[in-house]
Structure 1
Amino acid sequence: MAAWWNEWAARLNRWLLGGSDARIGLRMRLPILWLIALLTAVLLLPDQIWTSLLIGLLGLILVAFYWARTVARGLSAERRLRYGWVSVGDRLEEEFTLHNRSGLPALWVEVRDESDVPGYQVGAVRAVGAVDRVRWQQASVCRQRGQYHLGPWELRSGDPFGLFHITRRYDERQDIIIHPPIHSALPIPLPPGQIDGRARVRERTPQATANAATVRDYHYLDPYHWIHWPTSARRDALYVRQFERDAAGDLWLLLDCQASAQLGRDADSTEEHAVLLAAALAARALGDTRGVGLAAYARQPHVVPPGLGEGQQWRVLRALALLRADGEVDLERALQELGDTARRGSAVMIITPTADAGWLPQLARLARRGIESHVLLLDRSSFGGEGHPEALREAIHLLGFRAQVVRRGEVGRPLVEEEHRGFWDFKVTGTGKAVAVRRPTDT
């Protein structure tokens, strides 16, 4: 019965609104009860006062319904995300446009949103005149990495008398990933690794490296210091060096995602520090034209094979944005898995908060397979736990491997809104060129 009633009501709405997706509903039942009571009084106790009240109330209801119906048929809205690629500390900004194509004004329009982005509140109330539109921007600073969605959302309005309400729902959802920030000032060296000398690197790179493979014709955009003068003098024309990618091995970033080893919460957790470290190290290695891979054996494993270029950086950052250190795989088993995956000559940076030393023999196993290891130990005591990372670091050094202790706060914190001195925006000049400008936070 309920399903039949809902279907009939939906058809009635579409017929009344000419096929519009909006819905009209009764906000208050009391006027209808008054109308029934007055109609009964007119029939049972005929009198001019009851007739006048009945006509006045019926006219008020009809005017209110006509107003709500007219506005509902012409009211619509749209939202547009200004920047689809954001990281923690960046500004998430949307532009909303409210249209009213009807001949009557919408005195109030409420926007209700079901987005789940932390700290992002879209709810607003606006008024829009007849045959008019209103545009505004909604913004918030991204404070937490992860995958979220914008929408669904809906518009709510009504007539000036408050008898009917209008609802127009938009069920579209737009997924958005907030990536971890990249902190460049990290005093942590990258392990070089080594590619087998018999497998010479043949991949060309547009960046200058230590390996110059051959020469090619000069292009007017080439830097002058790339010019190979002996060849240019011999051939009586300008030639530049053609570079090959450095013969350094792939770099694997292994994050210890065992849930029992983690400490802290939110930005002060070992999980967040490990993610920040991995993001910064991946960006630096990719900037050096090295192949970078990611291995994180959480409850939902994230394994990104080594790759090059900006696309690989996006893949690594996406995996880090979705990463949760909630796994049951300990570091020893994770190293075994990585040892079976990584190629000879690769290097691995191990980021772990564990105080257990049972995984150290796996470093020797990786070395026998030709994989260089560098360990980053998150200081448990600085995160409110117990443990002595210095002792574990010395044990790693005695085995012939490099290790470094990272304490809470040394990686860097994401910028919050008060620390921003404005936000970058893009303006188009009169010549059609897009330039980046700094916009104050109070605009």
Structure 2
Amino acid sequence: MSDRSARRDRSVGRGLTTRGRCLVAGGIAAIICAFVLDERDLLRVGLMAAALPLFAVAVTALRRTQLAGVHQVTPERLRPGTRGQAVLLITNAGQTRTPSIEISEPAVPGLSAGMRYLIAPIRRGEVSRIIYPIYASRRGRFTIGPPHIRIGDPFDLWEDNRMLDARAEVLVVPTVVALTGMPNSSGARSAASGRATVGTVGGDPDIGVREYRSGDDIRTIHWRASARHDDLMVRLEEPVSHGGATIVLDHRASAHRGSGAASSLETAVVLAASISLHLLDSDHQVKLVSHRGTVIAQGHDISDDVLAGLAVLEPDEHVKLKPLLLGRAGLVIAVLGEMSAPDAQLFAATRRRGVNAVALVMATQDWDPESGSVGSQVTVDALRAADWRVVVVRPGDDLAGAWRRACHAGDGYSLSAVPVNGRPAFDRRPV
């Protein structure tokens, strides 16, 4: 039996406490000594000491207390650095009033420090409410509970330890940064509806049209499209999708440096979540995949799926990088860590002709300068040589600013106004 199972077995069960067992043993010893020494007073003391725990068993242990528990957590989803509260509802499902109840829950690393309360007796059918705070320090999926219940007599001679079947899952999703701007993209709009095409992303949404149907408002007729189709056509009220975008997240353990919330992997996850939701808000069809090509989330209205998938993402110990099929049109955005030269060249070659590819590369050497890692320069050089637009992300960088640079980067450079002799000029500097 494992140590964890042994601890669980000791914490569940009914019987005399250490005090009760010692009192019984002392009473029996006193009774024996009383017979040997022929001391009646000692005999009375021994009988009282031995009978008191048995009386506690008769009064409390024979009355089975029936309890039911339910966990509630608000809000259902947290982000790192935010607070919430857990509510434990204890209902007396028995026929008599309960004694005082000692209730506790273990700590949940990264979410809760645990709790320990003593609640007053509960009448039949009534509910006792316990509220305690939770604080999310990192993303992930956590389970609160089950609560441990301890019921005893007033003299602490007997106890009933049990676990209530009351658990609650708490999902701590990645932090999302508000982004602005959009890189140019090739391919078709209307990934969801398939009704209109354009060459680039940006500007006002396309006007979708369909044939006139009986009952349509005459004010929605699109006369220009009707003349072109030689039939009545009406405007569609819903916007047309802006086309497909693929987001690749490299979460190999060997590709990132640092630990905890300050690691380069957590920065990459925040970037992937923020970019995915920004593209979804811009009406893109988004496909979020890992470095292995595993689909984390895919679709048109998948904000919850993106956050849930990234919340439970763990560092991948698998070192080898697999070739990816990123499609022949649209927008590809890669959030990458450190790569070896062969891996960087292999990944850079996944870009197809006609695909606008943007890479945000973590400068891993800045997260752990003493690691002696090769850093991100090999990755940056390989991607730029393959016509990727590359932005290097360092610890403490403004991620919204990094995204703006990615939107306007061209061939690894950005235009910035630099005064020369009092007059503005433009300078090409690496991003």
Fold conserved between structures, TM > 0.5 = yes
Where 2:149 maps in the other structure, the secondary structure is strand
Write out per-residue CA displacement over residues 281-336 of structure 1, whole angstroms, 9 at most, x where no aligned residue.
Answer: 110111122111122246xx742363110xx2222222212222333345xx44x2
Gaps of 5+ in 2: 1-8, 197-203, 227-233, 401-431
The whole-number CA distance in structure 2 between the counterparts of 1:89 and 1:51 is 64
1:163, distance to aligned residue in structure 2 (A) = 1.0
Pairing partner for 1:68 from 60, 63, 66: 60
1:146, distance to aligned residue in structure 2 (A) = 1.8
* Residues 230-249 of structure 1 aligned to structure 2 (within 5 Å): 241-243=236-238, 245-248=240-243
1:53, distance to aligned residue in structure 2 (A) = 2.0
1:410 aligns with 2:397: yes
Q: Tell me if the contact between 1:191 and 1:373 (Cα under 8 Å) persists in the aligned partners.
A: no
- Deviating more after overlay: 370-379 vs 56-65: 56-65
The whole-number CA distance in structure 2 between the counterparts of 1:138 and 1:39 is 49
1:194 aligns with 2:184: no
Q: Which residue type is aligned with residue 159 of structure 1?
A: D
Map of 1:326 onto structure 2: 316
1:292 aligns with 2:282: no
Q: Which residue type is aligned with residue 118 of structure 1?
A: G
Q: 1:58 to 1:102 in 2, by over 3 A?
A: farther
Q: 1:47 to 1:104 in 2, by over 3 A?
A: farther
1:375, distance to aligned residue in structure 2 (A) = 0.9
Map of 1:27 onto structure 2: 17
The whole-number CA distance in structure 1 between the counterparts of 2:105 and 2:191 is 63
Map of 1:422 onto structure 2: none
* Residues 142-291 of structure 1 aligned to structure 2 (within 5 Å): 142-171=136-165, 173-184=167-178, 186=179, 189-195=182-188, 201-202=194-195, 209-214=205-210, 228=220, 241-243=236-238, 245-248=240-243, 250-291=244-285
1:346, distance to aligned residue in structure 2 (A) = 3.5
Q: 1:88 to 1:70 in 2, by over 3 A?
A: farther
Q: 1:173 to 1:380 in 2, by over 3 A?
A: same
Q: Tell me if the contact between 1:191 and 1:374 (Cα under 8 Å) persists in the aligned partners.
A: no
| TM-score normalised per structure 2 | 0.70
The whole-number CA distance in structure 2 between the counterparts of 1:191 and 1:116 is 45
Map of 1:91 onto structure 2: 83
1:349, distance to aligned residue in structure 2 (A) = 1.0
Q: Which residue type is aligned with residue 88 of structure 2?
A: F
CA RMSD of aligned residues (A): 4.0
Q: Which residue type is aligned with residue 400 of structure 1?
A: D
Q: 1:55 to 1:194 in 2, by over 3 A?
A: same
* Residues 27-66 of structure 1 aligned to structure 2 (within 5 Å): 27-28=17-18, 29-41=21-33, 43-44=35-36, 47-66=39-58
Number of positions where the alignment pairs a residue of Structure 1 with one of Structure 2: 366
Q: Tell me if the contact between 1:212 and 1:244 (Cα under 8 Å) persists in the aligned partners.
A: yes
Write out per-residue CA displacement over residues 22-54 of structure 1, whole angstroms, 9 at most, x where no aligned residue.
Answer: 842111221111232244345555554134324
1:401 aligns with 2:395: no
| TM-score normalised per structure 1 | 0.69
Q: Tell me if the contact between 2:249 and 2:289 (Cα under 8 Å) persists in the aligned partners.
A: yes
1:307 aligns with 2:302: no
The whole-number CA distance in structure 2 between the counterparts of 1:79 and 1:96 is 5
Pairing partner for 2:112 from 120, 130, 154: 120
The whole-number CA distance in structure 2 between the counterparts of 1:229 and 1:303 is 41
Write out per-residue CA displacement over residues 240-275 of structure 1, whole angstroms, 9 at most, x where no aligned residue.
Answer: 643453352x21111223332211111221110110
Q: Tell me if the contact between 1:155 and 1:169 (Cα under 8 Å) persists in the aligned partners.
A: yes
Over the matched positions of the two proteins, sequence identity in percent amounts to: 20
Where 2:177 maps in the other structure, the secondary structure is coil
